[in-house]
Amino acid sequence: MTGRETHSPDPPSRRRILYGRRKGRPLRPTRQALVDRLLPRIRVPVPGRNQAVAAAQEGTLDPLQWFAGPRPFASRPAAAYRAVWLEVGFGAGEHLVAQAQAHPDVAFIGCEPFLNGVAAALARIDRDGLNNLRIYDDDARVLLDHLAPGSLGRVFVLFPDPWPKARHARRRFISAATLDALARAMAEGAELRFATDDPVCLRWALSALIRHPDFAWAARSPADWRQRPADQPPTRYEQKARAKGAAPVFLVFARAPRTARQGGASAQNT
């Protein structure tokens, strides 16, 4: 995404800049109605707009609490969730919704600050009556800071904005600081799945992941990064890349075992 810089709701001492657009063309009336009606029912509450509250909540929130209240679609049966999976930057929600359909026993959280993408995902969620999906329409890094250790069983970062220019490198989502936050929030053995068709973004992310002590590359052969995981449906960004003749790369890294000092949940949450 490109556009104006916006500030995420961090305390002033840790203010972050969220790069990219928040809104595109005006929404159609039906999409706006979904934003008004459905989004408040499935939105993950924005943590930490009050600095004192942010400090108290940081690193303590169990994401399953956001699935414990009244079901958005009461006519659909209730479910017991075995894990929480997170997608960062879900675009229009094609992959996120497909995963939620395929795994009704998993609670999904999708992060996407672009309103038009959120509205498109809401249309799919409303169509399919998905109770196991929540949306955080802000900076995923803020949410990660507030999640309890070991609370995520899988994380998808699929075709993020590559920011290919060197002067924009700090805008890329994968960084040492973000990987620290992911490592804290992910359970032992949980998978971080990353995909890109941009060679600059690939080198950047692979270098950061290999250097990080809390992640281990799961690849055993070239096919493991040349082929999309069999249980992972394609995104429209992958389809666009292949239409241009690009060859996407798929990285799967596992959260390494925690030491006694680190604490957190085990792979039973994956």
Catalytic residues: 161
| Distance separating alpha carbons of residues 154 and 212, to the nearest angstrom | 17
Q: Which two tokens stand for residue 81?
A: 């969730």
Nearest to 58 by CA among 15, 10, 109, 16: 10
Q: How far is CA 1 from CA 18, 91, 93, 166, in A?
A: 11, 10, 15, 16
From 127, 94, 115, select the one nearest 237 (Cα to Cα).
94
If one counts every other C-beta atom within 10 angstroms of the C-beta of residue 260, the result is 5
Which DSSP category does 145 fall into? H
